[in-house]
Structure 1
Amino acid sequence: MENIVLNSATLGFVISLLAYEIGLAIKKKWKLAILNPLLISILLVIGVLILFGVDYDSYNASAQYLSYLLTPATVCLAIPLYIQLDVLKKNVVAIMVGILSGVAASMGSILAMAMAFGLSHKEYVTLLPKSITTAIGMGVSEELGGYVTISVATIIITGVLGNIFAESVCKLFRIRHAVSRGLAIGTAAHAVGTAKAMEMGEVEGAMSSLAIVVCGLCTVVGASVFAGLL
């Protein structure tokens, strides 16, 4: 099986898409938050690789085209933001303060946990970009000298958990304002969380899309500052 994957330019790509389609079908049928399509597709791909003895490098070589789509997919999130431009203009100060607070809280918590658990500097900077989209997070991790593959894993896990628990957390803390809900989800759980925000409403989706971009830019700058604190 590994030879087939190595000799195919797109088999890994096809396996990934099929796994995600299966995840979507399962979520649509049972409608449970825990049945996140991305989480299911990850587990299915891991299962296939283990079952057929295919190593990650072989799989990644034929699935790398998915990575090329990350940046344009992120840029496309500007469309719902443009539709809700009036909402942005009316709440611009609150929006910027909220996003900056979220970025500071994210990196501050990583710093605190790194100190508490005795992480090395390399392990610490690996976790700093956990709440920004993969397209930006990979570059931040590489620039700071972290483990890029582990950064990708933490970014995905953060997004999946955000997607699963976003609505429940908003209900628990009685966050009812659409702008607040969208900003919180986008700042904490990037693009995967934004998918959930879009399900919750148009304003939530637009604000979450904005949060992804601004949070990413702020983290690029802030991560360099926080990296020097440990």
Structure 2
Amino acid sequence: MSLDWQAAWQALVGHPLFGFALTLCAYQLSLALYEKTRWVVLQPVLLSIILVIASLWALGIGFDEYRASSELLTLLLGPTTVALAVPLYLNLRRIRQLFWPVLLTLVCGGVAATVFGVGLGWMLGAEEGVLRSMAAKSATTPIAMLVTEQIGGIAALAAVFVMVTGVLGGIFGPELLRLLGVTHPAAVGMALGINAHAVGTSRALGEGEECGAFSALAMSLTGACIALFLPLAAALIS
């Protein structure tokens, strides 16, 4: 590689938006492959994570450098979250009709997701710090990390649990629900939103507008409930 090519390559890799462009390209490629094949192993979020990690390793780029060049993604999370209000508004009448079933599902599903996750970790002999980090796995990453710090867990580990929960829920959730005979859009959306948060909501939007609306509702309310009640529950148990 000539000196000019080396300089151009270094300028490209060192560009302030290189991490943003890399992540966007990886996700678009993953999404195109998934839509063409419909293979669950090519779930876009999971595949894009693998592609980004492999690219950073091959290019010798550290995590701090990547994070600095992908901060625009963090800034876009706010508008993206607000945009989820659109399917909620379009299906507001339907949500009002199912208010009590939605409330019951939210309470039972949120408590079960937290208790079963922590209980499984306890049965497998996980340490207390790991159990505290696992408790908020059904919330989105920012909420889970903040709540985990409040209850004495490890924020970075909580982010990993959130990612694993979301990816597995997005991959296997809809198929598992169909095998169990759950086909109602509201029920599928609530299940994905409570258990697989943002990734599940993305998958639910692909299943249909009503399914995506209920998933967005479940994800939002589950995150709010975890932020409010999990620190209180942890304090009472301690």
Same fold (TM over 0.5): yes
Distance 1:144 1:4, change over 3 A: farther
Q: Secondary structure of 1:34's match?
A: helix
Equivalent residue number for residue 60 of structure 1: 67
Post-superposition offset of 1:141:
2.3
Q: Quick check: 2:150–2:231 contact (8 Å CA) kept in 1? A: no
Residue type of the alignment partner of 1:83: L
Structure 2 alignment gaps of length 5 or more = 1-5
Equivalent residue number for residue 97 of structure 2: 90
Equivalent residue number for residue 84 of structure 2: 77
Greater displacement, 28-37 / 75-84:
28-37
Instruction: Give the TM-score, by structure 1 length.
Output: 0.91
Instruction: Give the TM-score, by structure 2 length.
Output: 0.88
The one of 207, 222, 226 aligned to 2:214: 207
Equivalent residue number for residue 3 of structure 2: none
**How many residues of Structure 1 are paired with residues of Structure 2 in the alignment?**
230
Identical-residue share of aligned pairs (%): 33
Greater displacement, 26-35 / 112-121:
112-121
* Distance in 1 of aligned mates of 2:12 and 2:148: 29
Residue type of the alignment partner of 1:114: G
Are positions 1:38 and 2:51 aligned together? no
Post-superposition offset of 1:7:
4.4
Equivalent residue number for residue 174 of structure 1: 181
The one of 127, 134, 144 aligned to 1:127: 134
Post-superposition offset of 1:41:
0.8
The one of 10, 19, 32 aligned to 1:12: 19
Post-superposition offset of 1:135:
3.1
* Distance in 1 of aligned mates of 2:87 and 2:71: 28
CA offsets 1:190-217 (integer angstroms, 9 cap, x no match): 1111111112222111111100111111
Q: Quick check: 1:24–1:37 contact (8 Å CA) kept in 2? A: yes
* Distance in 2 of aligned mates of 1:5 and 1:109: 47
Equivalent residue number for residue 183 of structure 1: 190
* Distance in 1 of aligned mates of 2:94 and 2:145: 31
Q: Secondary structure of 1:69's match?
A: helix
Distance 1:200 1:126, change over 3 A: same
Equivalent residue number for residue 154 of structure 2: 147
Are positions 1:118 and 2:118 aligned together? no
Post-superposition offset of 1:34:
2.2
Equivalent residue number for residue 33 of structure 2: 26
Structure 1 alignment gaps of length 5 or more = none
The one of 194, 199, 204 aligned to 2:201: 194
Structure with greater Cα Rg:
2
Post-superposition offset of 1:148:
2.0
* Distance in 2 of aligned mates of 1:215 and 1:41: 26
CA offsets 1:169-202 (integer angstroms, 9 cap, x no match): 1111111222111111111111111111112222
Post-superposition offset of 1:83:
0.6
* Distance in 1 of aligned mates of 2:32 and 2:138: 27
